[in-house]
Structure formats: structure tokens, C-alpha cells
Amino acid sequence: MPRRKRTAGSSSDGTADSDDSAEPEKTDSGSHSDPTVRSSARLTRASLRLSQSSQDAPPDVKQIERDESPPRTPTGNAPSSESDIDISSPNASHDEGAAKDHKDSGSDPSHRPKRRRFHESYNFNMKCPTPGCNSLGHLTGKHERHFSISGCPLYHNLSADECKVKATERDKQEDERSQTHNEDNRHATRHQAPTPRQVKYKEKVQEIRKRRDTGLTKEQKEKYMEHRQTHGTTREPLLENITSEYDLELFRKAQARASDDLEKLRMQGQITEGSNMIKTILFGRYELDTWYHSPYPEEYARLGRLYVCEFCLKYMKSQTILRRHMAKCVWKHPPGDEVYRQGAISVFEVDGKKNKIYCQNLCLLAKLFLDHKTLYYDVEPFLFYVMTEADNTGCHLVGYFSKEKNSFLNYNVSCILTMPQYMRQGYGKMLIDFSYLLSKVEEKVGSPERPLSDLGLISYRSYWKEVLLRYMYNFQGKDISIKEISQETAVNPVDIVSTLQSLQMLKYWKGKHLVLKRQDLIDEWKAKETKRGTNNKTIDPGSLKWTPPKGT
């Protein structure tokens, strides 16, 4: 379906919380992407998306919805330190042409291109990221090559031949199990007792588990320690003798099945494991194309697609995990205090110290759409003002801005972001206006964190221009003072002067600076204001219920 063009970018540089990003709608006090270049969000249901993908896939590839391999870190929780994150990006690319060979080939079978083998759908310049691996073999034993850790036999301390042998054994066991299951259920009733074969199998499993040693021998511990010191995190830890052979085999089957599912999704172009960059995220009703790299844990980033809870912002590996999470998640709005409500729009004040995990996840999410944002985990010195739009399912994230609790330079914004699906709808200007409303309540003059990028400056100057023209339209006196404008609008005098100069409304004459009232600009602004009418999104100061924090 056609994509909307996006209008956002990144942040300012060299600041304590250098996540300031602005643009006319996805505002940010830093650099932004060109509004006419990048695409934003594709509004779609996940089930519709997956069903369409399965329809486009070759006939022998069916969409299978299962959980991927178990996460190695608590799902959705940000790592405790940046040392837990690998932000390297292996040089890998994926040829998605294989999934399209069957399309647009005409009705005559003789003219249809032959279906490629699985490994032929890859670019052979790709290489498995496991050190010392030649990309031959596959954990499932069904493919000749692999290009990711999930399918790497060497990473799992196996050889390609061993994987093929295990695949044959699994297929044989599956056939036997299916046959016995059909025989046992041929005349089964709904509440029938276990068959003798089932009882015998259960006793066999119990016996296998009893024979397992409760602990590792000294030699085994030394072997495992040597393996860990030699390979570190580039190999899977040795798992033999840690549990029973039966349970270990179950785990191996689950690994192989998950790896097979990932290969099928990769054939359809839904994930690009190995690129170490998230390409898309599923966020509520939207599937969003990401614009920049965000340092999510490697096991999540390498999948290429991330599933994020739109309320608590926890990140997950699969749609199945997300669906189970949403069934249990009790969050319907951001944590913290609701300080503003006007119709369906609300703003919540979230303390980075009290709600650390949520704020960290918010920063990681924002980095997907901001270029120079560098703050992810040190969120305690900041307050986050999260804007939401409510409906009968909850309060949906529209955007946010962060603000230092104690800013010596009176910066009222450190980072500001509008989510791609809400861009070019006036929400970015609302966030800027709200930040200045807080400055007015604090009886301070505010300004976004510096330095501003070029596009960030354009975004803020658009707001400052509107503020100044509105002020002059309502001004009835003869002598105008920049100091008085600053006190009434909470805009820094430096920003006012620079905006007047850009509008050619400030002139130097006979040793004095004069502000010229350009009626043409004022009339043009008024005409646009009238045309927008009631659809113009504005902040109502009377709807704010907030007092400046003390002792922060």
C-alpha cells in the first residue's frame, strides 16, 4: 500500500541529554531528515500483514506462527549497562527476490521461473557472524548454507553432518509418534485413560531423568570453563550433563524448530537476521519502518523486526510473545502523573528515577527515529513528558519530550519526538508549545538544548514565527520591547531576535534597533489560522494541572 512521507530526524549534539530532535511536526531540537524523503508508518493489522506475506510466498512455504528461540535477557527490560550490547553491524545483505519469483509470471506454467532452492535466495557475499565459520550447513540439517547465528552449527558446538543426522532422527521420531498417535486415537473417547504405550513412555522418561547426575564432575567443570574462556560469547555454552538427555533433546528440537521458522520468515523478506539493525517494529495497530540504528540487545536487533507493547514499551521477539504479553499487560497509559488533559489528548509526567525501565525503553524506541541521540540508560536526571491520545483501548503514545530536572541554562527541552504515525498532524507543535507552557508556569524563559541542527532550527523557528506574529497581531501599543515579548511568551530573547532577523522585521537605524511591523506577514498568518479553524491543534493552558517539581 502507498506509504506516507516522513518528516523527522535527529537530535542536537554535545549536550548532557543529546536527544534533542525537531522538525515541523516530529519536532526535535536537533537535526532531522528531509520531510520529503523518508517513509513513515504502514497502518496494518499484524494478522493481515502475515497472511498477505504467506500468500506471496512460494507454495511450499507456509507462514508458521511460533515463538522464536527463548530470550536470553528478561523480555522488554533494558540491559543494565551498555557493555551488554553489541552495536556492531555485520556486513550482510539479503536478496528478497526469491520470494517474488512466483509472482507476475503469467498463467502459462512453461513461462514461470523455476523456484529457487533456499540457499540460492541469499547474496553469497553474506557470511555467518560466528568466528571461524564458513557458512556451510544448518542447524536444522535441511539447508546447505546459513548466514546467521540461529542456524549456525558451529555456534551450537555441532558439525554440519551431525545436524543432518539429528534431522533424520527427528523426522523418524516424528513419523513414529504420528503413527502411534493415530493408532491410539482411532477408537479413543474424550476421557479415555492413558494407553499402555503412553504409560510405558512416561515411565521411561521418568527413569531417564532419575539417572541424571545431580552435579557436574570436576573434569566436566574444567572442560566447560575452558570452553567458555576460549570462545566467550561467540559460542553457545556446553549443555551436556547439565540436564537429562531427554530434556536436552527437547531443547535441541525447539532450537531447530525456531531456526527453521526464522529461515521461512527470512525467505519471505519479513526478517533480515545478521544485519544487526531493526528494520521494522510492530507497535500497536501500526508497522513502522525504522530510520536509524538503536542499541537494543543483539539477540533482538539481529532479527530485523521487533514487537513492542505500545503501553509499557517492552520489546519482544515474536508476534506470539506479544499477543501473550498483551493478554496479561495491565498498563493502559504511561506511568507517572497525568498533568494535562484536553479531550482525548493527555500528557503524563514520568520521572526517570522512579520509572527507570519505562524511560529506558522509551529512549531506545526514540533512537529508532533519531539520528544523533546518545542517551539511553542514564535517565534518572530527566523528566519525561509523554503525550498520548486516548480511545476505548487505552492511551496511545503520540510523542514525548525530555527535560533536565536541574538545567543551569534553563533548557526546557532536551529531546523531543513525535511518533511517525502522528507526524504532520500538528502534534509536534503541541509538544513545543507545551514545553513553553511549563516554562511560563515556572516563571522562566526557556529554550531548547543547543546546538540546534539546521532542520531543528527550522522546526523551532516555525514555532517562534507563529508566536511572534500572533503577539504582534494582538499588540495594540506603539512601542514594542523584546524583553516584554520574552516575558509574555517565555521565549528566549536570543531566539526572538534571530527569528525577527530571519523575517526581516528587525532593522538598525540611527544607532537603534527597530522592530518593523510587517502587515503582509501578519495577514498571511491570520489567513492560515482562519483556514485551519477548529482543526488546529493547540494547547489549552487552563487544562494544565501541574506544579513545578521541588527538590529534584
- How far apart CA 149 and CA 155 sit, in angstroms, is 7
Torsion of CA 292, 296, 297, 303, to 10 degrees: -60
Choosing from 273, 310, 404, 449, which is the catalytic residue?
449
CB 460 within 8 A of CB 22: yes
Phi, psi of 167 (to 5 degrees): -65, -40
- How far apart CA 148 and CA 272 sit, in angstroms, is 9
Nearest to 307 by CA among 271, 332, 254: 271
CB 416 within 8 A of CB 22: yes
Distances (CA, A) of 416 to 93, 385, 401: 32, 9, 4
Sequence-ordered alpha helix ranges (H) in 269-407: 298-301, 319-328, 356-367
Nearest to 118 by CA among 58, 52, 55, 53: 58
**Any catalytic annotation for residue 65?**
no
User: 124: which 3 cell numbers?
Assistant: 553469497
Angle at 542 between CA 541 and CA 546, to 5 degrees: 75
CB 235 within 8 A of CB 157: yes
- How far apart CA 309 and CA 311 sit, in angstroms, is 6
> Which residues does 377 contact at the CB level (< 8 Å), separation at least 6?
78, 79, 80, 81, 82, 360, 363
In the DSSP assignment, the letter for residue 352 is T
End-to-end Cα distance, the chain:
48
- How far apart CA 523 and CA 84 sit, in angstroms, is 56
CB 347 within 8 A of CB 385: yes
Q: Which residues are catalytic?
A: 449
